[in-house]
Structure 1
């Protein structure tokens, strides 16, 4: 793990400093411990919507982007199920500007009606374009809602329904801001050509007097164990059928998480993976097939998905896929394949270490998990994981009663038999 130093302000803001004198740049990364897992039914998508509001101006900064551009910087943000992350890259000599901007919108964000409505329209349009009007765009809406019955992971970060976004009130928005956008719910990372003394001074100057927020933070309810396979069929105007199979798996800090990650690496990462070789290259059914984990903090999903070639159904594809999964569960992963997968992890780790922004974001993310030291510990443990351990977890996770299956199918042609959208427990 990269070198870092840490201190905590009196208001609870955790600050991490990564000094790198070999660059003229600096990054200020501010992570808030709030995502869609902190939402409630009827108000879904609020965390992502609020990310947009954060660029609508604050008390002393009417235009956030303009202020950044004036000092040669750039900024962006993203929201996930678990966090909302804001980052600014700029010449290190101008780092105080980043402190000024982020502290001002933590303390005094502009929540005027014109800003609220303008960003509401932007998010609604994003929802429609990316999820409702794209082929297969709402697949994860259906799959999450099928796999989860209680936990907020049952809706995507964008939200469950457009109507939720349409109905956010000013009171909803202000309550969200006061609850989650507070120093004691945030992690600040400053990386680049900076010094600890400098960042201690700037942190105290710009963030030290910001008060803590409301005491109540919403914790999501636990998802009950799944005991029966669930299936759902959706018809839409798409070019071919698609198949999605989701299996419940351990959370990010739980035993089995890394093994589940390695399961998907062996099964579906890259052109030499099992699913690519056996289902895509050696059958006429699959146009593509991949496996991945969602990587969420709470127990989440291992997903295997594929697109069919024209003329083949999702049900036909599932039969072939299940055969490969069952074969994998009684196999032994060869040392060559396992080492290749681990080499890919090492290559990714090296790539992430090259870029200053990636280093800052990794530092913030693992600090949010509990400690930046977890990054190195996780990597070391992954390299030590044996084939038998991976297969053992495959036999715990890849079982029919733990599966939620989405058949995303072409709307039958005129004259064909049209079925309604169905959902059943099988």
Structure 2
């Protein structure tokens, strides 16, 4: 359990303080409850684009990084489907600098034409380098579009296509900022060698005067249940075939999610996993194979992915993958296997607790899910799941009518002939 104090300012900002006096450092972690799920078709990639804009300076801070470096701090950020997360590490004696920097860009970000165009070029170049010019780089674009027909999860965080980023208008950008970058859409966690009352006073001083957003959140489309298997074949200049097979699963807080998480732990986590042992070590088809769930707020995906050995096809790989997964479904899970994956979960939780930043991020993340206590509640619930519950979830969600398959094939594939 992570100790914390939880406050809510009059403008809706959630503030959590985690005191840890074992070092002289502090961290500031602020989550904005906005990700690619809050975008609409034709204007995709805005949430990620804003992650870049937020480092372009604000009214009183021309250089965010420069101001932070002068007090011995460092920072970074990430965006996913559901949130955008900004974090700072610095000496605890300089924690108020983090408040100054974060409050200034929340209230009065620099959205000059120069900044907008500079960051637009940066994001477009990132799109090209990471997703278009990398082998298999567009795989998740293709797979998401295959899996989702209504929900915004149908495009990755970077956006659906470069044309969307090129088309952002100043009105689009300012409207997005005014709606999502407001105190009532944010969670601030301060952790380290700090005092809760001091931090609360700083929060009131720097964030208290910022007005909440009065804009109503857009309704997010609901994805209809999939009724039949979907498949797509895509050829590209890649060394070997790769298989991507996805199944729709519950969202992070829904019944069945944790069981699905344990399914992929058993099948695909580590060198002793079933997929590694049966498909990689004991066949000449798979060069690698793993499984994971996307822990998204709305219903997400359980994904199996594997790269083929040269000359082997994604279609034959799917066949033997299905056989191994079906055998898993039909075979009772041993107590040893169940204990092993739960021990792995405990080890991961223990490892996460070592780093101050991880504790701050977890407090922020679970608060935006509903309560910081969900971190412990979720773990306790996961440790009580039985083998029968895991098998029942596997039978429910791992079925062909719920599957979407991307055969990502090499142009040199023999099957193209």
The TM-score bracket by the shorter chain reads over 0.9
SS in 2 for 1:7: strand
Cα deviation for residue 279 of structure 1 reads: 0.4
Q: How does 1:25-424 map to 2 (within 5 A)?
A: 25-412=25-412
Cα deviation for residue 215 of structure 1 reads: 2.3
**Once the two structures are superposed, what CA deviation does each residue of 1:303-357 show, in whole Å capped at 9, x if it has no partner?**
0010000010000101100111111111111111111111111111011101111
Distance of 1:95 and 1:268 partners within structure 2: 41
Distance of 1:326 and 1:205 partners within structure 2: 59
**Once the two structures are superposed, what CA deviation does each residue of 1:257-289 show, in whole Å capped at 9, x if it has no partner?**
000000000001101000100000000000000
**Once the two structures are superposed, what CA deviation does each residue of 1:55-82 show, in whole Å capped at 9, x if it has no partner?**
0000000000000100000001000100
Distance of 2:97 and 2:294 partners within structure 1: 35
Cα deviation for residue 214 of structure 1 reads: 3.1
**Once the two structures are superposed, what CA deviation does each residue of 1:185-208 show, in whole Å capped at 9, x if it has no partner?**
000101011111101110000000
Contact 2:313–2:415 (CA<8 Å) still a contact in 1?
no
Cα deviation for residue 21 of structure 1 reads: 1.2
SS in 2 for 1:60: coil
Distance of 1:184 and 1:41 partners within structure 2: 25
Distance of 1:248 and 1:401 partners within structure 2: 10
Distance of 1:418 and 1:284 partners within structure 2: 20
**Once the two structures are superposed, what CA deviation does each residue of 1:148-169 show, in whole Å capped at 9, x if it has no partner?**
0000000000000011001101
Range moving further from structure 2, 335-344 or 175-184: 335-344
Q: CA RMSD in A?
A: 1.0
Distance of 1:4 and 1:396 partners within structure 2: 38
Distance of 1:138 and 1:395 partners within structure 2: 30
TM-score by length of 2: 0.99
Contact 2:266–2:337 (CA<8 Å) still a contact in 1?
yes
Distance of 1:402 and 1:376 partners within structure 2: 31
Distance of 1:219 and 1:86 partners within structure 2: 25
1:424 is aligned to none
SS in 2 for 1:82: coil
Distance of 2:415 and 2:335 partners within structure 1: 49
Distance of 1:384 and 1:31 partners within structure 2: 30
Range moving further from structure 2, 244-253 or 335-344: 335-344
Distance of 2:217 and 2:226 partners within structure 1: 27
Distance of 1:289 and 1:279 partners within structure 2: 7
Distance of 1:326 and 1:256 partners within structure 2: 19
Cα deviation for residue 418 of structure 1 reads: 5.5
**Once the two structures are superposed, what CA deviation does each residue of 1:73-110 show, in whole Å capped at 9, x if it has no partner?**
00010001000000111000000000000000000000
**Once the two structures are superposed, what CA deviation does each residue of 1:96-140 show, in whole Å capped at 9, x if it has no partner?**
000000000000000001100110010000000000000000000
**Once the two structures are superposed, what CA deviation does each residue of 1:372-395 show, in whole Å capped at 9, x if it has no partner?**
111101101111111110000000
SS in 2 for 1:327: helix
Distance of 2:76 and 2:397 partners within structure 1: 36
SS in 1 for 2:197: helix
SS in 1 for 2:175: helix
Cα deviation for residue 412 of structure 1 reads: 4.0
SS in 2 for 1:371: coil
SS in 2 for 1:245: strand
Which aligned runs of 4 or more in structure 1 are off by greater than 2 angstroms? 416-419
SS in 2 for 1:153: helix
Contact 2:279–2:286 (CA<8 Å) still a contact in 1?
yes
Distance of 1:207 and 1:149 partners within structure 2: 39
TM-score by length of 1: 0.97
